[in-house]
Structure 1
Amino acid sequence: MKATGIVVEYNPLHNGHVYHAQQAKKVTGSDIIIAVMSGNFLQRGEPAFVDKWTRTKMALATGVDLLFELPYRYATGHAPVFAEGAIRLLDAAGCTAFCFGSEEGDIGVFKQSLKNIDSSRDTYEFTVKQAIQEGTSYPKALNKAYETIRERGLGGADLSKPNNILGFHYMQAAMTIGSDIMPSTIQRLGADYHKDSLELGEIASATGIRKSYFSTSSLKEVMDFVPATTGELLDEWQEAGLKFGNWESFYPYLRFIILREGPEKLAHIADITEGIENLIYKAAKDHSSYQPFMETVKSKRYTWTRIQRMLTHILTGFTYNMRDSMHTPSYLRLLGMTNEGRAYLNEKKKSLHLPLISKAASFSDPSLDMDIHASSIYALATGQMTGLDYTTSPIIGNHFSSNSFK
């Protein structure tokens, strides 16, 4: 069986995601789709709207056949780290291709971008270093360096666009690790990744769906933009009295930790640099809600997303030492599968490049321990029971109980 890989967050899964999975399978001529999905904390430093098990159910009902968890260390990393972890897992799972959505929709321009940087690497790296020293954020420094090369008329992708950026890093990661996995891309349809409003007749962004809910506390407006299964699962989550994940509801827990730990301990948390722990501590003392806290901490040097990653690590207690103990992914954590996915595993199980983990208690690894710990923190803030990683088996197909949250 031939498998194509995709990298997802499904926060939550919407109609555009269904299109992506369907087209990925079609354009690569694959038998199944394998997805690598972030757990309960995401790449932009945010808690997931609903937990990983619920998003697994959404995925299996709408086009994904096998779902593996991207470990916390990669799921909450900046784009190059996120991409490397995901591609390593897809490669280990035996995918012959991977497919990403992009604003470009043309794999050729991404290949050209890689050639451009490779042929002008010294200029590129010097420009990145100089921009960071001037106080430019890392993502903007990368784009500035890339545009310096692109202005020479060499062509390539527009790396100011969020999906293009991730797609570029997926391809760069595959090249770096020496994988034979073949890249492909499809045109992203509908609303821009960052668009935060809903308009009938278009495919909404996950950002717009979440904002709609948090501004109204109602799921009614989002139902036209998500598959039926996603809608049913969101309804079940709400009816069970669980909180949808966002920083406003998580902030009281975060603030408590910041004030308890103090600047000296915060300095050991991953991504905390240059004394920003003092500003974070003072802002937490001064502000009882999340938005004014963030407006106090944000600066030209630190993007909103970068600060949110710091806060995620503070919330979960993820230190530099812990991150240093986690190297390349060392296992494939199975979250769910369809019957076709099960058949693929039966066929390929002996040739997988990493151990397959279906029971958390059966494997010991610092990354897995961190995923379980992060899930417990997430459960505390959303009102779930803790320990779900030990009590939840991989989801099979879309056969699940309507009482799954109670």
Structure 2
Amino acid sequence: MKTVGIIVEYNPFHNGHLYHARQARQAAKADLVIAVMSGHFLQRGEPAIVNKWARARMALENGVDLVVELPYAFSVQKAEYFSKGAVSILHELSCNSFCFGSENGRIGDFLLSAEQVEASSHLLNPLIRKHMRKGVSFPKAQTLAREELFEDTLPLDLSQPNNILGFHYVQANRTLETPMEPLTIKRQQAGFHEEALSDQPIASATGIRKAIHERKGLKAVEQYVPPSVFKELTRYYNYYGQLHSWELYWPLLKYRLLSSSPSELACLYEVTEGIEYRLQQAARSASSFTDFMQAVKTKRYTWTRIQRMLVHILLNVPKEEMNEALESARYIRLLGMNGKGRQYLNEIKKNLSLPLITKAAAYKKELALDIKATEVYALGLEPYSSHSLVLSEYNEPPVILT
């Protein structure tokens, strides 16, 4: 059975994701589409709008055959680590290829750029450090260093968000002993961060979430998501009473920041360079998460980097624990499958070198960070719903579509 892997968050699943899943299957001439999907907290340091089982169900109803979870250690990370974890899991699942969306749309440009950057790393890294000493953020320093070193000779525009992720997927794949075939399709219509909704059927997930949270209604986004997704979002809202956003967790985050000492905060992952003092000062006066972020953001610390840091603070994740978890993916957590996905797993599971987890109860130690992520994610809900969600982490079987 020929397989293609995709790396996703589905926050929420929308028509652009449906296009990607279909095009990936077609481009790879694949029998099976496998998605490795972030859990309850995402790469840009945000809580997912609905839980991971709801998002797995959305995927399975719209062109994906098998969904596994990207562990927390890799999901709330900068592109290099995010890509390393996701690509290694797809490889472990014996994917023949993987396919990502990009602004560029030409895989040759990614391959050539990865080769050029890798060959010039001894020149590039000192330039990155030079620009960071000037007070700019790491992503900006990377961009400036590449511009300085390569000028116009690099075929890929690495200022575009999907190009950046795709570039790191290709780099991670190059480190494998038997690399998968990389494929890319051109992103359609709305840009990754585009917030405005148009009359086109494809909108960005950012724009969809903004419309839902600001207009306080799902009807505003119905045309931008498949019917089954709209139904699932509505079911989730009716059951839990709300959809997740950072504002739900602001009281919890404020408590963590103000009840911890600066030295305690400094021990947590991504808290560096004395920023703990700035975080505490802003937390004392901010009345909302958005106000807090506006007060904390600097040229050196991007919105995304701060949000990721705050997720790790919210979960109380020490540097040592995270650094150990980042060494390699150590398990595969199954979130859902259809009949074809189940057949494929039965065929390959005897060859897996990592444990395949279908229930968390027997793997509490291995899943410690993922379990903690669910427990904290659930705190944004009312007590009964929160308890129900925590129990589902231990007892919820994978979503199975027949």
Both structures adopt the same fold (TM-score exceeding 0.5): yes
**Structure 2 length as normaliser, TM-score?**
0.96
Q: Kindly state the Cα deviation for residue 192 of structure 1 after the two structures are TM-superposed.
A: 0.3
Q: Kindly state the Cα deviation for residue 351 of structure 1 after the two structures are TM-superposed.
A: 1.6
Q: For residues 214-293 of structure 1, what are the structure 2 equivalents within 5 Å?
A: 214-293=213-292
Q: Kindly state the Cα deviation for residue 288 of structure 1 after the two structures are TM-superposed.
A: 2.3
Q: Are the aligned partners of 1:150 and 1:156 in contact in 2 as well (CA < 8 Å)?
A: no
Aligned match of 2:176: 177
Selected match of 2:398 from 387, 394, 400? 394
Question: Which deviates more from structure 2 when the two are superposed, residues 109-118 or residues 174-183?
Answer: 174-183
Aligned match of 1:351: 351
Q: Are the aligned partners of 1:376 and 1:387 in contact in 2 as well (CA < 8 Å)?
A: no
Which residue identity is paired with 1:6? I
Q: Matched residues in 2 for 1:196 and 1:150: separation?
A: 32
Q: Kindly state the Cα deviation for residue 244 of structure 1 after the two structures are TM-superposed.
A: 1.2
Q: Kindly state the Cα deviation for residue 198 of structure 1 after the two structures are TM-superposed.
A: 0.9
Q: For residues 197-216 of structure 1, what are the structure 2 equivalents within 5 Å?
A: 197-216=196-215
The count of aligned residue pairs is 396
Q: Matched residues in 2 for 1:267 and 1:333: separation?
A: 31
CA offsets per residue over residues 74-98 of structure 1, 9 Å max, x none?
A: 0001000000000010000110100
Unpaired runs of 5+ residues, structure 2, are none
Q: Secondary structure at the match of 1:381?
A: coil
Q: For residues 3-402 of structure 1, what are the structure 2 equivalents within 5 Å?
A: 3-151=3-151, 153-326=152-325, 327-366=327-366, 368-383=367-382, 384=385, 385=388, 386-397=390-401
Q: Matched residues in 2 for 1:195 and 1:226: separation?
A: 16
Q: Are the aligned partners of 1:111 and 1:156 in contact in 2 as well (CA < 8 Å)?
A: no
Q: Are the aligned partners of 2:201 and 2:223 in contact in 1 as well (CA < 8 Å)?
A: no
Q: Secondary structure at the match of 2:279?
A: helix
Q: Matched residues in 1 for 2:154 and 2:314: separation?
A: 42
Q: Matched residues in 2 for 1:395 and 1:382: separation?
A: 22
Identity %: 45
CA offsets per residue over residues 11-56 of structure 1, 9 Å max, x none?
A: 0000000110111011101110000000000000000011101100
Q: Are the aligned partners of 2:15 and 2:201 in contact in 1 as well (CA < 8 Å)?
A: no
Q: Secondary structure at the match of 2:6?
A: strand
Q: Runs of 4+ in structure 1 displaced over 3 angstroms?
A: none
Unpaired runs of 5+ residues, structure 1, are 400-406
Q: Are the aligned partners of 2:23 and 2:185 in contact in 1 as well (CA < 8 Å)?
A: yes
**Structure 1 length as normaliser, TM-score?**
0.95
Q: Matched residues in 2 for 1:330 and 1:298: separation?
A: 34
Q: Matched residues in 2 for 1:241 and 1:345: separation?
A: 32
Label 1:134 to 1:221 Cα distance change in 2 as closer, same or farther (>3 A).
same
